Amino acid sequence: MFVQARQDDEDCLFIAKIDNVKNINSIIKALNFSQEAVCFCSKDGLKVTVEIAKCVQASAFIQLDIFQEYSYNDEEQLIFKVDFHTLVECLNMFEASGMNATVDMRIQGPGQPLLLMLEEDGVILDSSIKTQDPGEIADFSFEDDCVINKVILRSEFLKEILDEMDSTSEFIGIELSDNSPFFRFFMSSRLGECDFRVDKSSDMIEFFDCKVRTAFRYRLEHLKHTVKAIGVSQKVSMRMDENGLLCFQCMMKMDDGQICFVEFFCIQATNDDGGLAVIEPADEYTLPDPF
């Protein structure tokens, strides 16, 4: 990170300005579990994506309404990679002091540094972050017709479940059924067993659609990365496809009332031999053997 002269507006491919650093910072912090982030700039807004070993991926979608000024002067989107910890550190500079700074982000073009300027009451932090070629990014998206199960639930309920899960367990199981108990989280470890069951009529659930009875398991260390985003969101949409690909879409409300989304994808866990760790739904709904 180093200071560099600002580029004139007409010389920049991408310019975005926001008058409250807290709005963008709360979104970015939810993704802060990877060293690097890939940024996608387009006329529709800004997307920031992080991933770990092609197994878990998170993206923040910052729509045009979040910004006070936004300009992107190309038909094709601009994609680049940055050091994510450096970006987070820059955005944290003023928030840590309690100051409400404005943020100006801009980039001249491919291969050029990302320029950040934070300002509050005449105090200016002017930084430049090196950009790199994005490399290969896993495509975890799936179309609506591939979704076999979908649940929309209140965020505090899901966060409570993940917080209470035994951290010594390697896996967490998620079962969905059109019959009781409908929605179940379960895990087993050397310390014991956990089993959370929720009826689809519960106040915690706003929408429940189960087309196929399924039970998949996921690595707990991967799902733990979702806790920050879930903790600052109001509701979560959980979707699954037939291959066990899991998606959490967290709806977050900013201080000014604007809405944005952070989306997590996680593949189901594999056995030691590389096979998929599919759990057959239990007819009696008893806990499976320890993972």
Position 179 confidence tier, pLDDT thresholds 50, 70, 90: confident
Q: What would the pLDDT profile of 128-144 be if each residue is shown by its tens digit?
A: 999 999 988 888 877 77
Residue 225: HSE in the Cβ half-sphere, 13 Å Cα cutoff: 23
Q: Please check the confidence at residue 183 and state whether its pLDDT lies above 80.
A: yes
- Supply the pTM of this predicted model: 0.83
Q: What would the pLDDT profile of 229-240 be if each residue is shown by its tens digit?
A: 998 899 999 999
- ∠ at Cα 13 (9, 14), nearest 5°? 80
Share of the chain above pLDDT 90, in %: 37
- ∠ at Cα 130 (10, 126), nearest 5°? 65
Mean pLDDT for 180-202 is: 84
Q: What is the mean pLDDT of the chain?
A: 83
Q: Please check the confidence at residue 121 and state whether its pLDDT lies above 60.
A: yes
If you ran DSSP here, which 8-state letter would residue 276 be given? B
The number of helix segments (H) and strand segments (E) in the chain equals 5, 18
pLDDT of residue 256: 72
Lowest mean pLDDT among 48-57, 169-178, 237-246, 252-261: 252-261
Q: What would the pLDDT profile of 75-97 be if each residue is shown by its tens digit?
A: 889 999 999 999 988 888 766 65
Letter string b/e over residues 236-272, b meaning 16 or more CB atoms within 10 A of that residue's CB? bbbbbbeebbbbbbbbbebeeeeebbbbbbbbbbeee
